[in-house]
Structure 1
Amino acid sequence: MQALLSFDQAPPLAAPLRFFLTAPLFAVLAALLVLWSGPELFASRWTGAALALTHLITVGFMLQVMLGAMLQILPVVAGANISRPQLLATLVHLAVAAGALLLAAGFLSYQPLLFELAALSIGCGVALFIFGAGHALYGVPSTNPTILGLKLSLIGLAVTVCLGMLLAVALDGALALPLMQLTSIHLGWGFIGWSVVLLAAVAFVVVPMFQMTPAYPEWFTRRFSWSLFALLLLWSSVDIAGWQWSSPWLAALAVLTVAAFAALTLQLQSRSKRARFDATQHYWRVAMLSTLAACSLWLAASSWPPLGERSEWPLLCGVLALFGGFMSVMIGMLYKIVPFLVWSHLQNLGRGRVLPPNMNKVIAGAQLDRQMQAHFVAVALLLAAVLWPEWLTYPAGLALLLANAWLLRNLLAAVAFYRRQRLKIVETLTLTSAAAAAAR
């Protein structure tokens, strides 16, 4: 898989970086929302504050990180060069960020206009990204599971956003639609058809490469994305058709497939050749354990009515999936992607005449570890706050605020490091050229 990588095709640093720097800001907003809403946020998964919190994380944090990562991954892994990546990144970033803010405001106020504006903004931004990425991928053969997964994840993203736009427009009651049913399908495509398929496509490359593990089994990588996608299509179809006897079984199969990916990743991690785990590996381990816990809880609640009737279980499942699973793995990825991008662009700037500092110096290891610990504390407190909201909502909000402010601080430190080293390299190259000219 590593032979596929072509780093000379990477886009300008600012293209993915704008997404990565914005993501922690939305997580900070999510933390402020927890503090502002208080214990009432955990009264139900359907409160306006809970829905706003969910979309600040899914659209504001997760989608930002994934779009930035895809801008980098498509040319490097798939050889799919996006035309004018800087312009595309600017337009998509502005549209998606504005849409996420409008959507959160809509859930807090339930003003139809805000939902409509959010749907328009996010829809336009994602449509532009899918057009650019799809055009770049057109004609690229699906010669490996990663390229196939990238293509399928774009379809999953399109389905997720289309369903979300439909729900946003229908919330004022103007359209007679089965909102609960469409919400469930929207959730399934967003979490599995877009996020898990993309995560797995990336994991097939980066887990063996960065974590020094054996490769994922070929039989698994060849079948995973297609199987998950087919299960989602079947489940969505039979659920819309009202075939209640088969819909739960197909949904359970999709959840079990996700759990199998998490379990296999943990098993590969246990065979890592690294002497000790770094922050990224700890993040991946917690993410996969949280994913397994979320899948287990979902399966238990679906099959055991006494648990399924409790209002806490969807909130626990959401915290495990969003904060423990997706956020953990994405922060872990950022701590590999951003330092590597900084180092790679500095190396290209030096043109082999001036070498950049080691990649591990971009962000101090102690800062990574402390931020990681703050994030894990925040996840634990959020889980506990679901069960004891009166006592732990505010500590959970403060911990989430600290963890993501720290994440932003670490990413900004990487940017500052790049700027300092860039000036040094330019000065060194200038002096070297001037000395060479004088010698002639």
Structure 2
Amino acid sequence: MQALLSYDQSPPMAAPFRFFLTAPLFAVLAGALLLWGGPDALASRWTPAILAVVHLMTVGFMLQVMLGALVQILPVVAGANLERPLWVSAVVHAAMTIGTLFLAVAFLSFAPYWFAAASAFLGFAALVFIVAAAASLRGVPPTSPTISGLKLALVGLSVTVALGVAMAVSFGGSFSLPLLQVADYHAAWGFVGWGLVLLTAVALVVVPMFQLTPNYPNVFGARFMVLALAALAVWNAVDLFWPGPWATLAAAVVVAFPPAFATATLRLQQRSKRPRFDPSQHFWRLAMLSTLLAAMLWGAAVGFDTVGEWQGWPLLFGTLVIFGAFVSVITGMLYKIVPFLIWLHLQNLGSGRLMAPNMKKIIDEAAMTRQLRAHGVACLLLALATVWPEALVYPAGIALIVAQGWLALNLRAGMQVYSAHRRKLDALPPASMQLG
């Protein structure tokens, strides 16, 4: 099921890395905002502070890394070369960064002009990327489930962005929408239609390759991802026209997809050929367990009035999905992708004159492990803060800042290794002179 990898088609390193290095800073900002909001921020899922925190994480952290990863994955995995990747990356990254900051301010102020500005920048960034990615994939045959999944993920991203922009524009009074209902659609398309589909497409390659596991079962190929998008569309239609038990049943079908993927991944990890788990594998395990807990919480909220009437369950659900699942798995992938790309580019630049450093020395494994523990503590405190906000919101905010600041430092350390090795290469004579 794995796609053939073409490392010679890698884009310039600056193209994906600008996204990777920026993302943790938005998560640090989210932690600071949680400290500023205090216990009142966790009064419900609709407080201005929590809406800003959620979008700093989903757009500022998650989307930044996911788009940066796609800049690298499209040519290497799918053979789909972006036209002018440095230009596309620079424009998308700048517009996304500005738009995310504007969006956070918009939620804190609920001023229509901030929503208009945020939707303009974020909509433009998404449009540029989607058009560029679609153009690169045009004509690429679906020779693997990963290639099909990348195309489907762009559909999920398009719907997610369209719903988000529509809500942002509606806040300006241009038209009215059933915002609570559309917000649920927006979140579901973002987490399942975009996030899960992209993660599945990428995992088909990276989990067997980096974690030394067997391939995923065939059921998790293109059909799984198509069915996920179809289930979302059916749920939206049923919820709009036949709300009630049928809509709940349709939603349950959507909710079943993430735990199915998580269960398959955990089973593959049990069959890993590695003698011991490295930090990246532990991040994946935490993500998959959080996914299962989130699905069980959703089922409990639907099936039991005591849970469903608790105002904090959506916050706990969101914490498990965003921080426990997506931030964990994204961090685990960064710890594999970043050292590998640094090694690959240094190896190519060396041209036999100077060997690239070992990947394990680019980002120290002990530093990854310490950051993993800090992230685990942050996830636990954030989850418990939804139950006891008065006591734990401040420790949770501090823990989030520490964990994500640590991630930023670890990624910077990898870049410092790259810079130091480049200086050594620059000091060497050209390969032709060495041969002579």
Question: Helix, strand or coil: the match of 2:215?
Answer: coil
Q: Distance in 2 between matches of 1:170 and 1:216?
A: 42
Q: How do 1:106-255 and structure 2 match up within 5 A?
A: 106-255=106-255
1:218 deviates by 1.4
Q: How do 1:91-106 and structure 2 match up within 5 A?
A: 91-106=91-106
Give identity over the alignment, percent.
55
Do the aligned partners of 1:146 and 1:201 also contact (CA within 8 Å) in 2?
A: yes
Q: How do 1:235-384 and structure 2 match up within 5 A?
A: 235-384=235-384
1:242 deviates by 3.8
1:230 deviates by 0.8
Q: Which amino acid aligns with 2:209?
A: M
Q: Distance in 1 between matches of 2:223 and 2:197?
A: 12
Q: Distance in 1 between matches of 2:394 and 2:82?
A: 44
Do the aligned partners of 1:354 and 1:429 also contact (CA within 8 Å) in 2?
A: no
Aligned to 2:5: 5
Question: Helix, strand or coil: the match of 1:310?
Answer: coil
Do the aligned partners of 2:156 and 2:189 also contact (CA within 8 Å) in 1?
A: yes
Question: Helix, strand or coil: the match of 1:180?
Answer: helix
Question: Helix, strand or coil: the match of 1:277?
Answer: coil
Q: Distance in 1 between matches of 2:19 and 2:247?
A: 36
Q: Distance in 2 between matches of 1:323 and 1:32?
A: 15
Q: TM-score, normalised by structure 1?
A: 0.97
Matching of residue 404 in structure 1 with residue 404 in structure 2:
yes
Q: Which amino acid aligns with 1:417?
A: V
Q: Distance in 2 between matches of 1:278 and 1:225?
A: 28
Q: Distance in 1 between matches of 2:213 and 2:225?
A: 21
Question: Helix, strand or coil: the match of 1:11?
Answer: coil
Q: Distance in 2 between matches of 1:435 and 1:369?
A: 41
1:174 deviates by 3.6
Q: Distance in 2 between matches of 1:328 and 1:174?
A: 38
Do the aligned partners of 1:9 and 1:76 also contact (CA within 8 Å) in 2?
A: yes
Q: Distance in 2 between matches of 1:278 and 1:81?
A: 32
Q: Which amino acid aligns with 1:21?
A: L
Q: Distance in 1 between matches of 2:246 and 2:10?
A: 45
Structure 2 portions without partners, runs of 5+: none
Q: Distance in 2 between matches of 1:426 and 1:7?
A: 23
Do the aligned partners of 2:2 and 2:144 also contact (CA within 8 Å) in 1?
A: no
Q: Distance in 1 between matches of 2:140 and 2:406?
A: 39
1:5 deviates by 0.6
Q: What CA RMSD, in Å, does the superposition of the two structures yield over aligned residues?
A: 1.2
Q: Distance in 1 between matches of 2:206 and 2:171?
A: 40
CA distances 1:315-351 after superposition (whole Å, capped 9, x unpaired):
0000000000000000000000000010000000012
Q: Which amino acid aligns with 1:425?
A: L
Q: Distance in 1 between matches of 2:183 and 2:172?
A: 15
1:353 deviates by 3.5
Structure 1 portions without partners, runs of 5+: none
Q: Distance in 2 between matches of 1:164 and 1:137?
A: 25
Q: Distance in 1 between matches of 2:41 and 2:224?
A: 36
Q: Which moved more, 1:399-408 or 1:241-250?
A: 241-250
1:435 deviates by 5.1
